Structures are given as structure tokens and as C-alpha cells.
């Protein structure tokens, strides 16, 4: 079994930041899968939130985050993360990220839904994620202490005590083992592709959650999936997110008759759960909704990749409204972790979207995700200087191996089922039907991480018999005080919430 000091699974912004910072202390092996271009990070358009503008402050950023989180945020962690924002921008600048600036050299700041100030930092207009990912990837590729392997992680290796001591991987032909003397970090992204209609890449199947679940880690808040309100779906089924920064720049939502979706224009910048539900309600009434950016000054130069991609299909965003619809975008829940990524399993860390730190609560504030990715990766790196470097015992045989071919086989049925029964608006009959079918699929495809994660999301959604943040139940349309706490799940006890566990 080959070895490294630290093994990082994932090559998005969280994983690359973690690798670069951990490499200050030890050798790092990155299990990069299909590479950084396949990550959600590379697709991120909106930017990174940080209180760096005149009249702004981390306390204001934290207050906005708490408000969006609908009573489920971990307040001390929110305030820590917001305080770290300015230093994250400075660190990324040193790493070579070319943030957009005005002629004086000051950062250009945008505003997005739920923010009381303009505090969204961009690079390349609407290509922030790509610019950050590429800068970190270049640094990782040339780092002498970082090895990059284009393989797929199929299990967390554990010793007889349960400590994570490495990973098992698959290269398309054979299995390999990579031992980790200090730690294993999962930075595998989200779950959007489970729902079919999504802004995420098709690799976002929640497999990191399945890997952690099978390693007996505690999971939290899996019911909280954020649906972005403004996805454009092309005639060939191609999907593109239309950044919330467009609305921050003055674009508004209208019906196909040209009427404003919101009576108050300011409501176009309400939190994503509110806007997505408003669009869904209009669609239920038979109305298409469009995003009208025709009055946004210099829209094609400010949002070049969006404008160019639409232009290739014959749409001029500067001259005509663009049809939009909600789609799965971000998971607020995940593997329960602190801000350095520590989980309930010794030696196992979780970073970025796959982690649930409590920062996002029931509904993520726009552009906090990239901030969290970088902040967690940096904290993970610092934690490695304290993590003992030991040669552990020989790993026990894995109790489960991910089979990527099974994910591919089942996705055609899984994604429509999840969208229909566990999508934007849920209810008891739909969730029960989903759980029943998902249990059948788990038996039929025992190696599918996608099915495992989908089943856990559905069970968590059934337990939470209220509507809060991104989780909406038509049969329980209001928040309930007794549910103002995280849901927690583990392999031994799928939901641990006193006597309210789903049977």
C-alpha cells in the first residue's frame, strides 16, 4: 500500500486549498478523479462573499448569514467565517487569483440575494470559480510535496479501531490503496446531479457522503438542499445557471406576459428559497418566468461567459428576457464537521460542500460557499501540524466499495424520482414513495453511492415535518419550534433525534 502524510479526495477549491496548506507540513496525495474541471467549484459564477467594502464589516456579513439560515446556523462558527473573509481574499490574491478591480485598483463588489451590502468579489466577471480553481491547480501541480492521481476514491480505509488511515481507489482497471499517516480529507462536493435538473456537474452524486456514511461518520441536515431559482435549460437539455449577480446588477424576474414576478423590485434579491418558490408557484399556475437583464448596463461585458453561451443558442441577453426555472444547486447538510473539517471518525476530515459545519443553517447565503471552501481548507492545513504522523495498523477489509458503474446505471431512474418526490416542494406521500423505491434500488444496486445518499436525503426530509429555509413541506408549511435543531444520522441509527426518529 503506497503512503502519504495526508490524502485529500477531491480537486475543487476546498480540496486544492487543503492540499496546498497541508503540504507545508507533510506530503500530500490528491485523489483528483476527473480533475478540477469536473468540480462544482469550476462552475461557480457568482463570486466569493467577504466584508471588504467601505461601510461593511464582518459582523454585518455574519448577521446576513444568520438571517438566511432560518434559525439553524451555528452562530459562533458563522462569525468566525465572516471574520476570515478579508484574509481569504488576501490569500487568494497572493495565490495569483486576478480579482476584478476598478481603475484605481479597488475590488469591484457585487450584491446578491440576502446581502445587505455589496460584498461579492468576482474574477473574470462571471467566472470566479474557474479563475480560483485554475490558480490553485497550477500551484498544486508544481508543488514538490503534492502528488496528484486521476483515480476515483471507492472507500475510506480504516484500522481495527475505526480510525481513517487511507483510501481505496479505482483507476478503471484495478484497485489501489493509499495510506495516510496524518489524515484523510473528503472534499467531494455536493448532490445536485441526484435531482437531474441542476447547476452542478453530473459527477455531483453525493458519493463523499456515502463514503463517510459507510465509514460510520455522523451526517447532519441532509434534508436541506438549496434550489437555485434561475437555471436556463436549452432546447437540447443543456443547463446553465444564470448568476444571482445578474439580479444584483439590476435584472428582474418577469412572467411571459411581461408582468413583474414581484410587486416590489427589491424582492428580486430575497434569499434563494423565497425566489425559487415564487417561480415554482408561477409555473404551477401555467406561467413561464423569465429573467430580464435588458436594462443592465454593459451586461454582455460584465457577464461574458453567460452572454457568450446564450448567444451560441441565438439568445441576446442584452435584448431579450431569458426563460429560467429552479434547479438543485447546493447542499447545506453533509458530513458533520468543525471549521477545520474534523468529523466524528478519528483521522477523517470533510471540507467544502460535502461538510456540514452549521454555517449555512437551513439556507445558504449567496457566495458563502467559496468562502467556506477556502477557509476550511486553510484551517485543515493548519490542523495538520497538530495531527500526529503515525504508521497505523494494516487497514481492515472495507465493508463497502463504491461502484461508479452502478451509479451510471441507476441515475436514469434515480434523478426523476428525486426531482418528483424529494425536490423543491415535498410531502409525506411523496417522501414515503421515494423511500420505498430507494430501498428497492439499494438492494438492486448495493455499490451505488448515489442511491445511498439519495435514500438518506429522503429519510431526513421525511423526519423534518416542517418548512424551514430550503426544506419546504406542502403538508407542513410553517417552521415549528421543536425542529429548530439539526437532524443527525449515522449508519447505526439513520436519524438520531430523540423519540422522533423515522422508522
Query: Where in the sequence numbering do the catalytic residues fall?
Result: 272
∠ Cα 333 186 52 (to 5°): 65
Helix axes 449-463, 404-421, angle to 10 degrees: 30
The span from the CA of 373 to the CA of 41, in Å, is 9
The span from the CA of 62 to the CA of 64, in Å, is 5
Render 201-231 in DSSP notation, one character per residue: -TT-S-HHHHHHHHTT--EE-TT-EEEEEEE
Residues in Cβ contact with 55 at an 8 Å cutoff, skipping those fewer than 6 apart: 117
Strand partners, 323: 290
Cell 461567459 locates to 305
Pairing of strands 175-186, 2-9: parallel
Task: Give the count of beta carbons closer than 10 Å to the beta carbon of residue 446.
Answer: 13
The span from the CA of 445 to the CA of 432, in Å, is 20
Q: What is the dihedral of CA 355, 217, 11, 122, to 10 degrees?
A: 0
E-strand stretches of 418-465: none
- Say if residues 320 and 214 touch (Cβ distance below 8 Å): no
How many residues are listed for the chain in this entry?
Answer: 503
Amino acid at each position: 500500500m503506497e503512503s502519504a502524510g495526508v490524502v485529500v479526495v477531491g480537486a475543487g477549491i476546498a480540496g486544492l486549498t487543503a492540499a496546498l496548506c497541508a503540504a507545508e507540513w507533510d506530503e500530500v496525495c490528491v485523489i483528483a478523479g476527473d480533475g478540477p474541471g469536473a468540480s462544482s467549484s469550476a462552475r461557480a459564477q457568482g463570486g466569493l462573499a467577504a466584508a471588504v467594502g467601505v461601510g461593511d464589516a464582518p459582523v454585518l456579513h455574519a448577521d446576513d448569514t444568520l438571517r438566511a439560515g432560518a434559525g439553524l446556523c451555528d452562530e459562533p462558527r458563522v462569525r468566525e467565517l465572516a471574520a476570515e473573509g478579508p484574509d481569504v481574499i488576501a490569500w487568494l490574491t497572493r495565490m495569483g487569483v486576478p480579482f476584478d478591480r476598478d481603475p484605481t485598483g479597488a475590488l469591484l463588489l457585487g450584491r446578491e440575494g440576502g446581502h445587505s451590502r455589496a460584498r461579492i468579489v468576482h474574477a473574470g466577471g462571471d467566472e470566479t470559480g474557474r479563475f480560483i480553481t485554475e490558480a490553485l491547480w497550477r500551484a498544486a501541480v508544481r508543488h514538490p510535496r503534492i502528488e496528484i492521481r486521476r483515480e476515483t476514491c471507492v472507500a475510506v480505509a480504516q484500522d481495527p479501531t475505526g480510525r481513517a488511515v487511507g483510501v481505496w481507489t479505482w483507476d478503471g482497471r484495478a484497485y489501489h490503496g493509499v495510506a495516510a499517516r496524518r489524515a484523510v480529507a473528503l472534499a467531494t462536493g455536493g448532490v445536485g446531479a441526484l435531482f437531474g435538473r441542476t447547476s452542478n456537474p453530473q459527477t455531483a452524486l453525493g458519493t463523499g457522503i456515502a463514503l463517510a456514511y459507510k465509514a460510520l461518520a455522523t451526517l447532519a441536515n441532509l434534508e436541506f438542499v438549496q434550489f437555485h431559482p434561475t437555471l436556463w435549460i436549452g432546447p437540447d437539455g443543456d443547463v446553465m445557471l444564470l448568476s444571482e449577480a445578474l439580479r444584483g446588477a439590476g435584472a428582474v424576474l418577469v412572467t411571459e406576459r411581461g408582468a413583474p414576478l414581484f410587486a416590489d423590485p427589491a424582492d428580486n434579491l430575497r434569499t434563494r428559497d423565497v425566489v425559487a418558490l415564487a417561480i415554482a408557484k408561477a409555473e404551477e399556475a401555467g406561467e413561464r418566468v423569465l429573467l430580464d437583464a435588458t436594462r443592465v448596463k454593459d451586461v454582455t461585458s460584465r457577464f461574458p461567459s453567460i452572454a457568450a453561451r446564450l448567444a451560441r443558442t441565438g439568445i441576446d441577453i442584452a435584448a431579450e428576457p431569458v426563460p429560467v426555472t429552479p434547479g438543485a444547486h447546493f447542499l447545506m447538510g453533509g458530513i458533520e464537521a468543525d471549521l477545520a473539517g474534523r468529523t466524528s471518525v478519528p483521522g477523517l476530515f470533510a471540507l467544502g460542500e460535502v461538510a456540514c459545519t452549521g454555517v449555512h443553517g437551513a439556507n445558504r447565503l449567496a457566495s458563502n460557499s467559496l468562502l467556506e471552501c477556502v477557509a476550511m481548507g486553510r484551517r485543515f492545513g493548519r490542523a495538520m501540524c497538530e495531527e500526529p504522523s503515525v504508521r497505523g495498523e494494516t487497514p481492515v477489509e472495507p465493508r463497502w466499495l463504491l461502484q461508479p458503474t452502478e451509479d451510471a446505471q441507476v441515475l436514469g431512474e434515480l434523478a426523476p424520482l428525486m426531482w418528483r418526490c424529494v425536490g423543491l416542494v415535498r410531502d409525506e406521500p411523496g417522501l414515503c414513495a421515494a423511500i420505498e423505491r430507494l430501498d428497492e434500488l439499494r438492494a438492486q444496486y448495493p455499490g451505488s453511492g448515489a442511491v445511498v445518499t439519495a435514500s438518506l436525503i429522503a429519510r431526513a426530509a421525511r423526519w423534518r415535518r416542517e418548512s424551514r429555509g430550503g426544506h419546504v413541506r406542502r403538508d407542513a408549511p410553517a417552521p415549528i419550534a421543536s425542529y429548530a435543531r439539526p437532524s443527525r444520522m449515522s449508519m447505526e441509527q439513520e436519524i438520531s433525534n430523540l423519540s422522533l426518529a423515522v422508522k
